[in-house]
Amino acid sequence: MIKKRIIFIGTIIMMGLFVILYRLADIQLIHTESFSKKGVNLVQESVSQRTQEVVIDDGRGRFTDRNGAPLRDQVEPSLVIFPFSKDIEWPVEQLTKIINISESKLNHLLANIKKPAVLSKKEGIHLTSEEIESINNLKIPGIFAIYKQSPIEESIAEHIIGITGENPELLRSKYPDRSDLSYKTQIGITGLEKAFDEFLLPDAETKLLYHVDGDGNPLFGINVKYMADANPFYPVTIETTIDKEIQAMSEDILSKHKIEKGGIVLLDIETNNVLAMVSKPDVNRAEDATLANHMIQPIFPGSIFKTVISAAAIEYGLDDATRQFDCSLNLHGENDGGQDDGMLNFERSFAKSCNYTFTTLAEELIKINDSVIEDTAEKLGLVGPVGWNGKVFHYDNFKQFPNEKLGKIWGANEDKQIKRAVHQTAIGQKDVKVTPMAVANMMATVARGGERKKVRVVENILYKNGTNMYSFTSNSIDGEHISPFTAKSMQKLLRLVVTDPEGTGRRFQSLEVEVSGKSGTAQTGKKTEQGASLYNKWFAGFFPSNQPKYALVVVEMDTTSEESGTNASFYDIVNELANRDL
């Protein structure tokens, strides 16, 4: 019995030792460069424990606006001081003279650092290229003047650019062949960071480093190593279509008018490029809800959708100029006392946004062709995806807006046979949801005479040496489109919204530039804590009316109609752009 117990205990001990030995072998011999699900490189980690370093450039690609201005990171002149410099003698006076700070201040700084210190504008160090050269010519051990990659002072276009984050498991699943990537490598989570992630991945970091012992003292003398990637092609630059100045101006205007939820989309009509796109609320990494770009999420359009019904009516010859509609009736043709516009023709019905006119026309259109509404919406570029997509290298369907959601017109095909469902659809309610970017695209399509294009926010991917990796040259869309006659008629209707003395856009008559557009107020089905109904408030259009250059959409979501800053924001953006172009 005792012998059996000894054998049993011995077996357990041997098995335990075997597990420990296997674990040691796994750590030291088998998976030293890819340990655990995170793919931790144990060799690199052991070295990093004995290393102090300053990363000059993390190697990830960067973003610029259409003029080459940085949108996220910039190269900033900086002074790097390693801790061991406080224990050796060097010409302190010469350095302080160059950087224009007192010797006592520098000595105080040196006395307190335990890790490499990076000093730049934030710390009052403003270095010129000549001063950088002078500092490095002093050849002081542990002190370097460099150009360091750093975030720009004020964040801009955050919803377009997107965010990055660490996700080791996702990294390994997306890029199984990139064993050279550290598990700490940042990957794109939203926006362009997500769309272009494979192009943006770092090839190697550029850094200054030196090795230390357990007490932080230099391990191999005081030589600091400069490690840089010699690859002339990476990191790449994503050249966006954004205009940084216009983007910043648009963001400021929305903040000025206290639009807390909503945003703007501004397109160049000729190219269909995004010049500015703002989504509110601002990005807050601690709150997932703020990461959504509302400009590519479907929401109720309200009377903006009457643009589609009008275009369909013109295409099918239902725009009789002599016909009168009783706009004292509600959308269902009932006299509930809520309307008092009297008899209006088709054009003035559009200018004053008479519901009854467009519910009547929608009924008549569906009797002619029950798919006419969705077909016309597609011809106008309103249903998507409307963002650029196509073949790029090994991607068969690369998307510049990977988080873009599709809009829809009908909840069920049977609704086309239900009068009240048709009525609600005709005025952009019921199940109609479209993205603000798609509405901007519709306005640009009308302004171009009916030519449809995909919305583009990136024009080129550039190698590090400035040569071109890829250009997103074509963004035209094949297929049916509205006729030039329909487009011209719609341009007149959209202009009448502003010029009519009772038009819903008459506020914009005082602008120096002529504006054409359409307003919209959509019920959301939500209420405030006090019980007040919440609406989506829109204004969408293009300008100058006679030679369209810009298509602009402004929407404020979940607001009470009295508090909306939509029209004020639209007005100010148009005014700023007009002054810029004059």
Cα-based angle 522, 191, 405 (whole degrees, multiple of 5)? 40
Q: Contact, 392 vs 399, CB < 8 A?
A: no
**Cα dist from 306 to 47, 167, 309, 313, 377, whole Å:** 65, 45, 5, 10, 10
Inter-helix orientation angle 129-137/92-99, to 10°: 180
Specify the DSSP class assigned to residue 544. S
* Cα(576)–Cα(582) distance, integer angstroms: 10
Strands 51-57 and 206-211: antiparallel
- The residues pairing with 195 across neighbouring beta strands, listed in sequence order, are none
Cα 557 to the chain's mean position, in Å? 18
* Cα(81)–Cα(118) distance, integer angstroms: 7
- The residues pairing with 390 across neighbouring beta strands, listed in sequence order, are 398
> Reduced to 3 DSSP states, what percent helix, strand and coil does the chain have, rounded to the nearest 5?
40, 25, 40
**Cα dist from 305 to 350, 463, 486, 529, whole Å:** 11, 43, 16, 29
* Cα(388)–Cα(386) distance, integer angstroms: 7
- The residues pairing with 453 across neighbouring beta strands, listed in sequence order, are 476
Specify the DSSP class assigned to residue 336. -
Of residues 204, 179, 169, the one with CA closest to residue 31: 179
Query: Among residues 303, 310, 353, 519, which one is catalytic?
Result: 303
* Residue 303 annotated as catalytic: yes
Q: What is the largest distance, in Å, between two alpha-carbon atoms of the chain?
A: 112
Q: Contact, 362 vs 309, CB < 8 A?
A: yes
* Cα(499)–Cα(515) distance, integer angstroms: 9
CB atoms within 10 A of CB 37: 10
Residue 549, exposed/middle/buried by CB under 10 A (0-12, 13-18, 19+)? middle
DSSP 3-state assignment of 9? helix
Of residues 469, 410, 468, the one with CA closest to residue 434: 410
**In 237-325, alpha helices (H):** 244-256, 306-315
Q: Contact, 474 vs 519, CB < 8 A?
A: no
Residue written as token pair 């569906």: 366
Specify the DSSP class assigned to residue 349. H
Which active-site residues does the annotation give? 303
